Structure 1
Amino acid sequence: MYPVYKSCMRQTTGLNQKKGQSRRRTITMNISRSKITIVLLFLVIVGFRSRCYGQQAGQQPNVIVILTDDQGWGDLGYHGNTNLETPHLDRLAASGASFSNFYVSPVCSPTRAELLTGRYHPRGGVYSTSAGGERLDLDETTIAEVFSRAGYRTGIFGKWHNGMQYPYHPNGRGFDEFYGFASGHWGDYFSPQLLEHNGKAVQGEGYITNDLTDKALSFMRQHRHEPFFLYVPYNTPHSPMQVPDRWWNKLEDKKLDMRHRDPGKEDPEFSRAALAMVENIDWNVGRILETVRQLDLDNNTIVVYMSDNGPNSWRWNGGMRGRKGSTDEGGIRSPLFIRWPGKIAAGTRIFDISAAIDLLPTLADLAGVALQTAHPPDGISLAPLLLKQQRSRKNRLIFSHWNGRTSVRNSTYRLDHRGRLYNIKRDRGQRHDSSDQHPGLTRKLTRAVRKWEKQVLSALDEDEERPFPVGHPDFRYTQLPARDGMPHGNIRRSNRYPNASFFTGWTSRRDSITWNVDVRAGGRYKVEVYYTCAPEDRGSVISLSFKSHRLVHKVSRAHDPPLRGRKQDRVERVESYVKDFRPLELGVIRLEEGQGTLTLKALDIPGRQVMDVRTVMLTRVDNERH
């Protein structure tokens, strides 16, 4: 705009400087100058609106990122697995680009952090999958923030797993809309309780993967006339292994022609359940793609599909070594499909090594979005490869780390966490250690691992005190689940895996449940405890206290539902079963700003025990605008 404006002004000024002009001519030129200025101002405004809100058709592509949970590279027909059928995913892969050497982290929350930031997960403070270790540091810039600043509407529908309490919450990390759950796994997949919609507790509607897709489709329809960034992180085929009859009946008695490379390790029933859940995912991905077509957004929508780690059981996975939790090929190799009709040629095959850290730079590059982040990404843009503008890069290293183990991959080899070297192009299954044949390369990669660990892991402090934030001034709701609390005395978790657990065994007045919290904004908060209580245990008096304020309430209403989940499980679970917990309103408490311990304990126990506790929900009541 600026050069055009200068040119117009030069012409106008030149005319005004001509000698012998009549006063009428001067007035005419002044009017013309005013008209030019007005037109230019209008064009600037239109251009600004266009850049900020993407209202010009085709200017900014929509982006849809679909992430599955515990689906292995081999759980796809496209990769040669004949045990299941994935027609929609196979077509997605064939209609765009597929990656042969794409890597993620060995477990859930680290991969999500790397996808969100374009940086290795330890840099963002992620070192665990529960109890606060899954939280992404607040000084990290997320992919949702990058696209939101570019005028995109942003939505996430599914499993977040990078922090529950605001501002770690999705609504605090750039997402306009969130429906799903922030925990690492969920205990019931059929109309589950305590899902969230923008922080407020809601009940799910039907099978969870179908429900998440329904909400994602509504988001697409609502924002079809403006650019949107849609993130759909499904929580299947993560256990518990629950799937509707439509998909289970097809595979329940199916003979598995393709087995794990060590068949004795495989549980065929678990494999069938996982594959049935993947077929359900395939059906839902088909619904997303069909909606994109119906909305006439095909040519202006980038669709990405990937998984967060290797398979959650020993099943066919291309003969690779390792599974979920491993830094070997089988634990970190993931499918990656990217489709953008008219821009990315159908049938594109990319053999370069790439990783989850590359997705933020790549998608920002493809969409023409400025990549403005607080910290430089570790990943690179794959757009030149996708658009066939650049040849392969041969000198790249990608590091994989979890639980004290680090491996590294270059274009040909992988050095595992024990210092063994494998030619992945010839030995994807990592059966033949070739470190003796290539001592120089082994030493070089070993030094690279040590340097990376020194640079990346040194800033990670797993013992750092990071209390759970409560009452952020920009958000109304705070959920404090059992997962984030500490039991004392006789109280115990319902399961050793914290994410979907609840507290039980509360039998003594010396028992307590505590949460280490940081109240970001002092004020009055309504308190609800999601509980169960047998009829014979009614009458306990409980207190919730923080610093100098305490709330006392008598548990006068029984609520004693059975454990649920066993009837829906296709194989026996290792996680906690759940209950239909009911909210018990304790009243309103004043919380003082600052750090401290929120304590729940009993003052009187007339029965055998007090109650079971799933979650404490705090809702700000002195500032209704939130």
Structure 2
Amino acid sequence: MIRLFLLSVFSLIFIFGLFAKSNVVVFLTDDQGWGDLSLNGNTNLSTPNIDSLGKDGASFDRFYVCPVCSPTRAEFLTGRHHVRSGVYSTSSGGERMDLDETTIADLFQKAGYATGAFGKWHNGMQYPYHPLGRGFDYFYGFCSGHWGHYYDALMERNGKLVQGKGFCVDDFTTEAMGFIESSVKKDKPFFVYIPYNTPHSPMQVPDRWWKKFKDRTLEEMMRNRNPQKEDRLHLLAALAMCENIDWNVGRLLKKLDQLGVAEDTIVAFFHDNGPNGNRWNADMEGRKGSTEEGGTRSPLLIKWPNGIKPGTKVMQIASVRDLLPT
């Protein structure tokens, strides 16, 4: 059943792509846990825009990814187990996909789509492992697995270093919105991949969100399984970063509406692994780096007004590898 449902969501794009040309936007966040959404019951934060993807589309209850960054990204991009694609680590070359792998961007590109990636790549830094060698027409962001500073940082635009503008997640979103608008003006369908790099450390977030959380008292039922392990400042910063992500998701959804393409654009959202700290995660064992459920369970939310009935619930088990092949 799960494969039949995903077939209706993704494969129709490839099968009927030459006719329908539906657009696709995929958000992937970094170190955000299953419990870091108000949709999943966390009352310590509010994520209405992300939540709306599930409420207005489909929400997957048992969706699984890898315990760390690069393997999950490789499995999404190739639809294959990360080891089969050549990815076995997050550094020292172990993050690079084999060059004979076909990526989801390759498929969209061959179908005539404008393809763009905006954010943290983490599947190879130099060409031909670079996004521009893996099916993307346009890339803005950074290719390593970690960035040391999130404000006005040096970024890469299509192979050239440029000065970023403001907070990186806001910057990535603005760049993605510009790419989408340009594609619409050219009457060209688009596939946009937005792998945000937060709430991964360093724990930096704009004052607008930090001021909301810095003095926050956490609800007693929304604590880690062992509150003594909590790093309060790290936890509050992570929640603030998650709300910043939500705001940016809302910005992009609004842009799709303004451009008149929201009805026929698939928007998907999921995480690369479990939370990067000891915070509420529905009492699941494990966190980032662990193969226990808390380290590998992710939300998967998919909105497609022209193809998915609002409020659809999928309870069957699925994984990130299911997205491309089905």
TM-score over 0.5 for the pair = yes
Find the counterpart in structure 2 of residue 230 from structure 1: 192
Structure ranking higher in helix proportion: 2
Find the counterpart in structure 2 of residue 208 from structure 1: 168
Find the counterpart in structure 1 of residue 128 from structure 2: 167
Find the counterpart in structure 1 of residue 255 from structure 2: 291
Distance 1:319 1:139 in 2: 41
Partner of 1:255, secondary structure, is coil
Measured after TM superposition, the shift of residue 342 of structure 1 is: 2.8
Distance 1:99 1:266 in 2: 28
Distance 2:296 2:98 in 1: 23
Find the counterpart in structure 1 of residue 10 from structure 2: none
Find the counterpart in structure 1 of residue 153 from structure 2: 192
Distance 1:53 1:336 in 2: 23
Find the counterpart in structure 1 of residue 42 from structure 2: 81
Partner of 2:94, secondary structure, is coil
- Residue identity over aligned pairs, in percent, reads 62
Distance 1:210 1:158 in 2: 10
Distance 1:290 1:104 in 2: 28
Distance 1:60 1:214 in 2: 23
Matched, 1:97 2:61: no
Partner of 2:324, secondary structure, is helix
Q: 2:264 aligns with which of 280, 300, 320?
A: 300
Find the counterpart in structure 2 of residue 354 from structure 1: 318
CA deviation profile, 1:300-348 (whole Å, cap 9, x unmatched): 1000000000000010000000000001100000010001003100000
Distance 1:296 1:162 in 2: 33
CA deviation profile, 1:165-217 (whole Å, cap 9, x unmatched): 10000000000000000000100000002x11111111111100000000000
Distance 1:154 1:308 in 2: 21
- After superposition, residues 428-577 of structure 1 pair within 5 angstroms as none
Matched, 1:271 2:235: yes
Find the counterpart in structure 2 of residue 218 from structure 1: 178
Partner of 2:169, secondary structure, is helix
Q: Is the 8 A contact 1:152 1:229 kept in 2?
A: yes
Q: Which runs of 5+ in 1 are unaligned?
A: 1-50, 362-380, 382-626
* Normalised TM-score (structure 2): 0.93
Distance 2:53 2:94 in 1: 35
Find the counterpart in structure 2 of residue 114 from structure 1: 75
Measured after TM superposition, the shift of residue 52 of structure 1 is: 11
Find the counterpart in structure 1 of residue 209 from structure 2: 247
Q: 1:256 aligns with which of 190, 215, 218?
A: 218
Partner of 1:344, secondary structure, is coil
Find the counterpart in structure 2 of residue 513 from structure 1: none
Partner of 2:276, secondary structure, is coil
Distance 1:217 1:148 in 2: 19
Find the counterpart in structure 2 of residue 70 from structure 1: 31
Matched, 1:327 2:291: yes
Distance 1:152 1:92 in 2: 23
Matched, 1:145 2:106: yes
Distance 2:158 2:134 in 1: 12
> RCO (CA 8 Å, sep 6+): is it higher in 1 or 2?
2
Dislocated runs of 4+, deviation >4 Å: 51-54
Q: Which runs of 5+ in 2 are unaligned?
A: 1-14
The amino acid that maps onto 1:253 is D
Measured after TM superposition, the shift of residue 53 of structure 1 is: 8.9
* Normalised TM-score (structure 1): 0.49
Distance 1:292 1:136 in 2: 32
Q: Is the 8 A contact 1:53 1:226 kept in 2?
A: no
Distance 2:100 2:188 in 1: 28
Distance 1:316 1:201 in 2: 38
Measured after TM superposition, the shift of residue 299 of structure 1 is: 1.5
Partner of 1:229, secondary structure, is strand
Partner of 2:117, secondary structure, is strand
Q: Is the 8 A contact 1:53 1:227 kept in 2?
A: no
Distance 1:229 1:62 in 2: 6
Q: Is the 8 A contact 1:310 1:323 kept in 2?
A: yes
